[in-house]
Amino acid sequence: MDSITHIAIGACVGEAFFKKGFGKKAMIWGALAQSIPDIDFITSLWMSTSENLLAHRGFTHSILFALLIVPVFALAADKIHKPHNIRFSTWIFFFATEVFLHLFLDGFNNYGTGWLEPFSHTRFSFNTVYVADFFFSIWPGIAMLMLITLNSYSTKRKFWWKFGLIIPFIYLSYCTVNKIRINRDVKEIFAKQNIRYTRYFTTPAPLQNWLWYIVAGNDSGYYVGFRSVFDSKKEIAFEYFARNDSLLAPVADHEDLQKLIRFSQQFYTVEKYNNTLVFNDLRFGQILGWQNARGRFVFHYYLQHPQDNQLVVQRGRFEGWNRQTVSVLMKRIKGN
């Protein structure tokens, strides 16, 4: 999830945990605790781009990190707010809820979260919600603003923290149902269209949860397409992208390449752009892929020009967006 959403949810959880009067202070602690796993952003100050890709949502998003940081927060809050009648176990439970909720929510996006670091480099991803989904984030955002505005002893505060937590989790459940339906449909379509694959994934296209991006294939290449939850026809107009591993021979021992392959979880292709080799991580989708089936992949890394890779995960994500492209997106969401 994006940072603002974590802050808003953290504030609502903080309000929910404590009695009237302490709520606004708890909101601040909640926002801080929800944000602490994202402290990994500082690694970009000294790490290379490829190293930072693995560091992000790595150790600071692990269960071990949560177990270490929760007592630190609890001790700090307990000391700062003395004298008080809050049990230390309550502080522990509160901060554990905040930090583990952050790790849990990030698992629903497609980046991958290193829950088992440093013991295992496996990344966990449910691929269920786009990283910035207005329909998930708006409710805790409104609730946080209302809780900031209301008097600390207002009887309306209970309504607003419930509003900020219950509605987004209902929406998250709805997204999970969409995910299950899409996975069921695409497996039928793979069989019907004779799509051979050893691995596949489905994940929402940008900013919503009705149009889904699908990738399926093997070490030779990948079929890429889109399906709406409102599609009635059991078919997908796939485009095939060869993986082109043979192009990697000149840079086979390149340290960045090995990190990129690990990060991509094998969902990658290689292309030649002008005078450089480009590594595409297919998990992050295409630029306007629902409009241009051969559109460039959002994540493309210049293997022979590493200085040009300051931003790779969402490179050109909204390039070319205008009223017409949004109209095409809305039409595609409505289904075939």
Say whether pLDDT at 298 is over 80: yes
Distance CA 242, CA 268 (A): 9
Structure confidence at residue 55 as a pLDDT band (50, 70, 90): very high
Mean pLDDT of the 44-55 span: 88
pLDDT of residue 65: 98
> In whole numbers, what is the pLDDT of the chain averaged over residues?
93
Least reliable range by pLDDT among 18-27, 121-130, 273-282: 18-27
pLDDT of residue 46: 86
What digits encode the pLDDT tens for the residues 243-285? Answer: 999 999 988 888 889 999 999 999 999 999 888 899 999 999 9
The SS3 of residue 291 is: coil
Distance CA 109, CA 302 (A): 25
Structure confidence at residue 25 as a pLDDT band (50, 70, 90): very high
Least reliable range by pLDDT among 153-157, 170-174, 179-183, 209-213: 153-157
- Among candidate residues 289, 5, 1, 225, the one with its CA nearest the CA of residue 129: 1
Say whether pLDDT at 308 is over 80: no
Say whether pLDDT at 165 is over 80: yes
**If you write DSSP's letter for every residue of 32-67 in order, what string do you get?**
HHHHGGGGGGGGGGTS-HHHHHHHTTSGGGSHHHHH
Mean pLDDT of the 217-243 span: 97
Say whether pLDDT at 235 is over 80: yes
pLDDT of residue 21: 67
pLDDT of residue 311: 62
- Among candidate residues 40, 107, 104, 33, the one with its CA nearest the CA of residue 70: 33
Structure confidence at residue 12 as a pLDDT band (50, 70, 90): very high
Q: Strand 297-302 and strand 276-286: pairing?
A: antiparallel
Backbone CA torsion sign across 64, 65, 66, 69: positive
pTM over 0.75: yes
pLDDT of residue 312: 65
pLDDT of residue 310: 67
Percentage of residues in the chain having pLDDT higher than 90: 81
Say whether pLDDT at 333 is over 90: yes
Say whether pLDDT at 133 is over 80: yes
Mean pLDDT of the 95-102 span: 98
Structural tokens at position 206: 């940008």
Say whether pLDDT at 316 is over 80: no
